[in-house]
Amino acid sequence: MQHKESKDLMNVLILGSGGREHALSWKIAQSPKLDKLYIAPGNAGTCNEGTNINLKPTDFEGIKTFVLSSNIDMVVVGPEDPLVNGIHDYFAEDEALNHIGIVGPKAEGAQLEGSKEFAKRFMIKHGIPTAAYQSFTVDAIREGHTFLETLNPPYVLKADGLAAGKGVVILNDLEAAKVELTDMLESEKFGEASAKVVIEEFLDGIELSVFALSDGINYKILPSAKDYKRIGEGDTGLNTGGMGAVSPVPFADADFILKVEEQVIRPTFEGLKEDGIEYSGLLYFGLINVGGEPVVIEYNIRFGDPEAEAVIPRIETDLLDLFEAVCDKRLSELDLTIDSSATATVMLVSQGYPGSYEKGKEINGLGDAGESIAFHAGTKLVEDKIITNGGRVIAVTSFGENIEQALETSYANAERIKFEGKNLRRDIGYDLKVGIQAE
C-alpha cells in the first residue's frame, strides 16, 4: 500500500452498518494514524466516530467514485457479501484503485465462507478436523435420502451458499430431514444458496470462535470468543445473528488454543498457500470442542458479530497499524498485545426478532451506559432522535476482571438503555464456568 507522501495519516473507509462496524470504527477512530474515517452506510453510532456515507457495501462503482474523490488509503470490509462478490479483486484489477489497501480476502479465498462445499472439500483435502459430509444437488435427492438413512440423528442440513446465517437446519426426525432436503433442493427454500445442500454428521460439544489476521504470509491469533446464537435462554428457539458474546472463552486455555493452532489454523493457512490462494484479512474459525478436540463447523471470512464487539475492545495494539501491516505483508514485524481483562457483550434486540419486528422506536438512555460501551447495531439518526432500525439494536460491552464481572456490568447498564419492545437474553455466559480469571 502506498500512502500520500505529504503525510503518514490515513483516510479509511469501513463498509457495513452493524455492531461489528461500530466496534471497528470505535477502535480505528482511536488510532493516531487516522486522518479521516468514513463508514458506508454506517448507523447512528458510527457517525460519532467518523462520517457516514450513504452507499451500499456491494455498490462497487459507487465505492470507487467515493474512494477516489475522498483520497481513501484503506478499505476495511465488515460483512462477507462484498468480499464473496469480489471487492478485493475489483480494487486489485483497477489501476486507479490498486494502491488502496483492502482488509479482507479476494473472491477465491472468500469461498471458504461463500460455499460450504468448497470449505468442506478444502478441510478434507488438508486434513483439518471437520464433520463427515456429502453434498447433493436437485438431481440427487434420492441419494440424499439414502445418505440421511445412514446417519444417526440429529441431521444437519446446510445450504451451500450465503443465506444470511439462516441456511442451517438441524432436525431430529429422519422423515422431517428428508422433507427438508427436498424443500431446500427442489423449491430452493434458501434461493440460489440451496441449489446445493451439504448434509453432515452432527457434532456434540460446546462452540467457540477463534479469529486470525493474515497478511498472506504470516498470521496472528486474536482472542477467542463465544457467541450465543439462539433467541431463547438456555440456547432454545430460533437462530439469530447472535445475542451476546464473551471473551476469552474460559475452556479455551493456552493448551486448547495451541491445539487449535496446530490442528486448524496453521493447516488452513498452509493449505491456502498450497492451493495458490493468497488470503489476507480476517479469518474466523467456528469451532466445536468435541471431547477436548477442536473440530471446524465453519469458516467465516470476516469478524463475527457480536464477537467483534467483545474481541476488538481487548486488542491493545493499534488496529490501523495491524491492518496496515496486513495490507503491506509485514504482520510478522508487529507485536499483538491483548488486554488481560475479560469482556462481555449483551445484545438488545427488537420485540419479535428474529421473526418480524417493528422499526422506528425511539432509543433513550444511551448516555447512561456508564463504563459500558454501547455499540450501535441497528440504529438510525432521524433529526435529533436515535431510533431502532433493525432486529439487533444495541450491543452493550463491558470489561471485567473475569467474565462474571463483565456480565454484571453489561446487564446493569443494559437496563438503562430503553426502547419499546426491548428484548435481551439474560443468560449470556450461562454454560461457561464463569468466575474463572481471564487468561
Per CB under 6 A, residues contacting ligand GLY are: 165, 227, 242, 300, 304-305, 307
- Cβ distance to ligand AMP smaller for residue 89 or 207: 207
User: Strand order in 293-300's β-sheet?
Assistant: 219-221, 206-215, 280-290, 293-300
- Cβ distance to ligand GLY smaller for residue 282 or 319: 282
- Provide, rounded to whole angstroms, the least separation between the CB of residue 305 and ligand GLY: 5
Q: Which does 242 bind (CB under 5 to 8 A by kind): ligand GLY, ligand AMP, none?
A: ligand GLY
Q: The cell 491493545 sits on which residue? A: 316
- Provide, rounded to whole angstroms, the least separation between the CB of residue 300 and ligand AMP: 8
Residues forming the site for ligand AMP (CB under 6 A): 131, 156, 158, 168, 200, 202-203, 207, 229, 286, 297-298
Q: Which three cell numbers stand for residue 227?
A: 457467541
- Provide, rounded to whole angstroms, the least separation between the CB of residue 187 and ligand GLY: 26
Which residues of 319-413 form beta strands (DSSP E)? 342-349, 373-376, 379-382, 385-388, 392-400
Q: Mark 246-270 as b/e (b = at least 16 C-beta within 10 Å).
A: bbbbbbbeeebbebbbebbbebbbe
Residues forming a β-bridge with 375: 395
Q: Which does 203 bind (CB under 5 to 8 A by kind): ligand AMP, ligand GLY, none?
A: ligand AMP
Q: Which does 304 bind (CB under 5 to 8 A by kind): ligand GLY, ligand AMP, none?
A: ligand GLY
- Provide, rounded to whole angstroms, the least separation between the CB of residue 227 and ligand GLY: 4
Q: Which does 200 bind (CB under 5 to 8 A by kind): ligand GLY, ligand AMP, none?
A: ligand AMP
- Cβ distance to ligand AMP smaller for residue 207 or 321: 207
Angle at 124 between CA 121 and CA 128, to 5 degrees: 125
Q: What's the CA gap between 19 and 349, in Å, rounded?
A: 12
- Provide, rounded to whole angstroms, the least separation between the CB of residue 210 and ligand GLY: 13
- Provide, rounded to whole angstroms, the least separation between the CB of residue 286 and ligand AMP: 5
- Provide, rounded to whole angstroms, the least separation between the CB of residue 297 and ligand AMP: 5
Give 230: exposed, middle or buried? Use CB within 10 Å, 0-12, 13-18, 19+.
Answer: middle
- Cβ distance to ligand AMP smaller for residue 185 or 297: 297
Q: Please say whether the beta carbons of 133 and 186 come within 8 A.
A: no
Residue 261 DSSP symbol: I
Which residues of 240-306 form beta strands (DSSP E)? 244-247, 280-290, 293-300
- Cβ distance to ligand AMP smaller for residue 118 or 202: 202
Q: The cell 471446524 sits on which residue? A: 296
- Cβ distance to ligand GLY smaller for residue 136 or 303: 303
- Cβ distance to ligand AMP smaller for residue 207 or 408: 207
- Name the residue number minimizing CB distance to ligand GLY: 304
- Provide, rounded to whole angstroms, the least separation between the CB of residue 170 and ligand AMP: 6
- Provide, rounded to whole angstroms, the least separation between the CB of residue 360 and ligand GLY: 25
Q: Mark 175-206 as b/e (b = at least 16 C-beta within 10 Å).
A: eebbebbbbbbeeebbeebbebbbbbeebeee
- Cβ distance to ligand AMP smaller for residue 154 or 360: 154
Q: Which three cell numbers stand for residue 252?
A: 479455551
Q: Please say whether the beta carbons of 283 and 111 come within 8 A.
A: no
- Cβ distance to ligand AMP smaller for residue 207 or 293: 207
